[in-house]
A and B are shown apart, each in its own frame.
Chain A
Amino acid sequence: MAGIKLDTLTKSYGDTQVLHHIDAEIEDGEFVVIVGPSGCGKSTLLRMVAGLESVTSGNVHIGDKRVNDLEPADRDIAMVFQNYALYPHMSVRDNMAYGLKIRKLSKAEIDRRVNEAAEILEIGQYLDRKPRQLSGGQRQRVAMGRAIVRDPQVFLFDEPLSNLDAKLRVQMRLEIRKLQKRLGVTSIFVTHDQVEAMTLGDRLMVLNGGYVEQFGTPIELYERPASIFVAGFIGSPSMNFLSGAANAGQVTLSNGTTIATGSTASGEVLLGVRPEHLKPEENGPFKMTIEMLEHLGGVTLLHGVLDGTDTQIVASLNGITDHQVGDQVSFAAKQSHLHLFDAKSEKRIEE
């Protein structure tokens, strides 16, 4: 078991820098999710930890060892790939035993480990099948099995759930979480799905354009997003952003409404408020005209435009409501649920 330390890690392809000074310390046994839109460099970062991509500058430490120049085989890691990358010509048993045979373990030990992993993952009855005879979910389990038999210091997951259907994805997500807790192996999980990220990770690293936007627990990211990007990325539906001017503890929106924020900030700001934090209230400061309703059963989403502006705004109300398109509704939000971001730097303004 070991932690991972990334020290001013960068990656360039020729003149294009794809990762900028990544610093992170991952505790032993921690489950870290790297999340971001496609092309943000999250897979590249994972592959650098795996040793499949070279490091341009900076250091990667696994445990106490600097592993920059070590082959993937010598880093004591296991990786689960997006397309599972099972060896198609080998049975499930041989797929899982492959790494162990290379490490020259005894036959009995290999059998013991494979059977144990198969039992954990409930793939015992498929051990003699070839990967092509398995369903997507079963292949996923075999890929996991291949990782856990090795008993590595670190698990790396490269979007392992994105090829599964929605229902199976939720199920495997829970299983991965349980398995990781049970085995206590330090894990890095890459995904572009913010729900996956929120539910799986002890901590989340939000990457955008090769920069770390924020690195913290899911609740921290939700409650105190460090930038507009994180605020918009975490949570569904996305946070509403309203432009305005801050002055003396309040923000004046572009339609003239003033909202008390308790912040001492001044100047051009964006006021962020999550759809689920908007509560209907007579004479509330956020007045909108409903343009569209989405009934999801558990919640109802009201889409509309903030009166006097052309800013789109979404509110999420519990249950099924009787609002109609064209209705004018007023909302209020608690002061603690308001987020202020600098309009220029797009960073959070701390109270």
Chain B
Amino acid sequence: MNGRPLFVAFKTLLFKEVTRFTRIWQQTVLPPIITTSLYFVIFGNLIGPRIGAMEGFDYMDFIVPGLILMSVITNSYANVASSFYSAKFQHSIEEILVSPTPSWLILAGYVGGGVARGILVGLAVTAVSLFFSELQIHNVAVLCSVVVLTAVLFSLAGFTNGMLATSFDDVSIVPTFVLTPLTYLGGIFYSVNMLPNFWQGVSHANPILYMINAFRYGFLGISDIPLGWSYLLIFGFIAALSTVNLWLLARGHGIRN
């Protein structure tokens, strides 16, 4: 399989994934918009004015980039983890496994679906944020590259979760106990410079901090972390997770006896 047939197979997988999450948009697209709107209302509108400025910006303006990226992270991850696990659970993954579609293309198709949902939800949350904040863009290239790379990274992580999961509980454990705490502690609502030295050091072990700060740089031009470190970390994780996923696919972990 090469050239045009590979492209057709990728398009098919991507289209199937997009069709899946748009068919159930009430479960996939709507909830993050409502949740993030509540964050804007409660933290931005109600509590924000009492907090005052953060790193020289209105509190609402400060939290908007983090909340957009949080929705991208959680949706990219959830889309791939749940879709891949469902395909495993229903055995419909066998449709692809019996075909000549190579492993790397299976991974690319699912990641493409995760990125599509992450970006779609991110755009919807950005549109909602316009009701609360006058968004400014400092560097559009950084903004676009960080959001796409972060969506790729968390789609890959979701794929690993889907491959390793043996029950639907396993699909929800990581987002609940790992992803959400790391996201909240990743500097969405505060600057790590506010923390005591020890906790600043601890925060720097959180990879999500690097992504949120790079994304915030794209909007506001400020970051607690040097931009180069953020890109290095994102590319490093993408490379590592891609390798792990391709290895799992080659072994047929959980999908081949």
Partners in one complex: no
Chain B interface (Cβ < 8 Å from any Cβ of A): none
